[in-house]
Structure 1
């Protein structure tokens, strides 16, 4: 599974990458903000985007909307990570068809559970198509 991690905080990117590697995900790229992430998504195929909500230039919600409105990326699973407490903002993200929402602080188990849900959905889609 090819994963793109987008977060403006280098320490958070490294924590996520460490967790992903501990779960045996090794094909991981990182982006420093939403703009770089969107550029990378257009150039390379990824199976999952894990993005922070609060980022400069292009935040996670804006990135999610760009992904959902892009013909080739619209079905890409997107996991949003945030410490956001605003019910309205969280509902807006859910309305934008985020695949999963993870609240900080989180554990490796939380990431593993979300990625397993994505893999199950992907395998069901494959079975239905075949």
Structure 2
């Protein structure tokens, strides 16, 4: 499974990547924002996107909308990582057809459970 990890904070990307490797997901690519992620998505095949919600240039919600609006990418699972507690913002992301949420702070078990849910849906 090839996973694109999108987060503007290098530390958060590295924590997530280390967790994914621990869970035996070695095929990982990292992007610093939604714009860079879209470039990767146009040029490579991915099985999953894990993206932060709040980022400069293009945030996670806009990235999710662009993925869902693209016929070639529309079925791609997207996990949203966020510390957002605004229910209206969460409802907007759910309406945009996010595959799942990971609420910060999270641990290895939370990530593992979300990945298992994604794998079951495929």
Class of the TM-score when normalised by the shorter of the 2 chains: over 0.9
Q: Which residue of 2 aligns with 1:41?
A: 41
Q: For structure 2, list consecutive stretches of 5 or more residues without a partner in the other structure.
A: none
Rg larger in structure: 1
Q: Establish whether residue 50 from structure 1 lines up as the match of residue 61 from structure 2.
A: no
Q: Which 4+ stretches in 1 moved above 4 angstroms?
A: none
- Distance in 1 of aligned mates of 2:102 and 2:119: 17
Measured on the aligned residues, the alpha-carbon RMSD in Å equals: 0.5
Which residue is equivalent to 2:70?
A: 70
Determine helix, strand or coil for the equivalent of 2:29.
Answer: strand
Q: Distance in 1 between matches of 2:119 and 2:86?
A: 29
Rounded to whole Å, the distance in 2 between the matches of 1:88 and 1:120 is: 28
Q: What is the deviation of 1:121?
A: 1.1
- Aligned 1:114-129 pairs, distance under 5 A: 114-122=114-122
SS at match of 1:26: coil
Which residue of the partner structure matches residue 126 of structure 1? none
